[in-house]
Amino acid sequence: MTVDDTALHATGIVKRYRRHTVLDGVDLEVRRGEAVALTGENGSGKSTLLRICARVLRPDAGAVRVSGRVGFCPQEPALFDLLTADEHLALFGAAAGLSRDEALRKGHRRLDSLGFHARPGTVVRDLSGGTRQKLNLAVALLAEPDVLLLDEPYQGFDHGTYVDFWDLVAQWRGADRAVVVVTHMLTELWRTDRVVNLKEDT
């Protein structure tokens, strides 16, 4: 692995919640064009590690280096209940420096690829769980990120969309992006290049 290939490099990550140590010196390195599955039992610190890599959670020790822009899809949809899909696209698009028109164009393309169907003007609160999750994933993809950190992003997806999601992972990897997917779906691990099992590998 050359230094330039590394898109995400987390070293010596330690995270404690009070006296409970969730992560104890975890390392994670992901190259461009690599898809990594992050597995582990409940409470093993998968989501915590992903949040630290996304820099929304501060580790007690260790360092994270990311090359390029990061797209982060949290496990629970982090969206405004009373805004519509288009309003979310405009809001997150502005964060990435996109105009409203650009954000809507790109966002609709992402949503179409995920099979998002909702009446225009429907607010998030009125979307089904799976549809909400599709929007949650789409806004993470808006900025064409170099590193994708996805925390069980397929929850609530119907089977067809679930299969499409893994095809999209293959596409993103083919586009030289680094993809980390937290998953419990062991039957899909063959679709990734590498499996990092927290507790076992760390």
Partner 1 sequence: MKHRWLTVAALQGRDLARRRMVLLVLVGLPLAWYASSAAAGLDYAVGSGTLGVGWCVGATALFTVLGGRSVDPRLVQAGYRPWELLAGRLLMLLGTALVLAAFFAAVMVAGSRPDRPGAVALSIVLIAVVSIGVGLLVAALLPRELEGTLLLIAFVGLQIGIPTAVAQWMPYYGPLRMTDTSLPPANLALLTAHAIACTVVLVLAAGALWYRRVRLTPAAPRRAEMPGRP
Q: How far apart are CA 65 and CA 30, in angstroms?
A: 11
Task: Give, as ranges, the residues between 72 and 131 that touch partner 1 (CB under 8 A).
Answer: 72, 74, 76, 78-83, 87, 90-92, 94-99, 123
- Which amino acid, one-letter code, is at 60? D
> Is 58 a residue that touches partner 1 (CB under 8 A)?
yes
CB 48 within 8 A of CB 75: no
- Of these, 17, 21, 41, 57, which contacts partner 1 (CB under 8 A)? 57
Query: How many angstroms separate the most distant Cα atoms in the chain?
Result: 49
- HSE-up (13 A, CA, CB side) for residue 113: 17
Taking the alpha carbons at both ends of the chain, their separation in whole angstroms is: 20
Task: Give how many residues touch partner 1 by CB under 8 A.
Answer: 41
Least distance between partner 1 and beta carbon 87 (Å): 6
CB 165 within 8 A of CB 157: yes
Least distance between partner 1 and beta carbon 181 (Å): 18
Residue numbers at the binding site for partner 1 (CB under 8 A): 3, 9, 11-12, 27, 52, 54-59, 62-66, 70, 72, 74, 76, 78-83, 87, 90-92, 94-99, 123, 139, 142-143
